[in-house]
Amino acid sequence: MEREIVVTGIGGQGVQLIAKLLAQAAVREGRQVMTFGMFMGTIRGGSSESTVVVADADIQSPPIVPRIWAIVAMHGAALPKLAAKVRPGGVLLYNRSLMPEPAGWEGARLISVPAPRWRRRWGRCSRPA
């Protein structure tokens, strides 16, 4: 089994954190994992992308990822270029607070989440005294 997941959005820190947490969870399950992140040329407000490859066997370094099993989209800017790479039956988890349901994703499972609402609900974490 090998799964390729692309996390994409604007800014970068949240996108990279999601990818890191996903990779750490897979390692704890005993899987082989490789991640690689990209920040586009803009200092602030530019797009950010991180690819996580999870497998049961060794992963070739660096992996070539011509097809994607799943996409986690916090912003819709990168979706047009990623749509052609999604495997049939792939998954698109997208932030419905920032984008409408994307068109042209026939054959993919679409899952919408209200991502900013989670942050407001959880609030800020305080440090123990």
The three-state (H, E, C) secondary structure of the chain, written as one string: CEEEEEEEEECCHHHHHHHHHHHHHHHHCCCEEEEEEEECCCCCCCEEEEEEEEECCCCCCCCCCCCEEEEEECCCCCHHHHHCCEEEEEEEEEECCCCCCCCCCCCCEEEEECHHHHHHHHCCCCCCC
Q: Is the pLDDT of residue 25 over 90?
A: yes
> Residue 48 sits in a domain of what CATH number?
3.40.920.10
pLDDT at residue 98, as a whole number: 83
* Mean model confidence pLDDT for the chain: 82
Cα–Cα distances in Å, from 4 out to 49, 76, 125?
13, 19, 32
Query: Mean of the pLDDT values across residues 41-54?
Result: 76
Q: Residue 34 domain-assigned?
A: yes
pLDDT digits (tens, 9 = 90+) for 90-108: 999 998 888 888 888 888 8
Q: Residue 67 domain-assigned?
A: yes
Does residue 39 or residue 79 have the better pLDDT?
79
Q: Residue 79 domain-assigned?
A: yes
Q: Residue 6 domain-assigned?
A: yes
Q: Residue 114 domain-assigned?
A: yes
Note down the domain range covering 67: 2-122
Count of domains forming the chain: 1
Burial status of residue 30 (CB atoms within 10 A of its CB: 0-12, 13-18, 19 or more): exposed
Q: Residue 127 domain-assigned?
A: no
The dihedral over CA atoms of 6, 11, 17, 61, expressed in degrees to the nearest 10, equals: 50
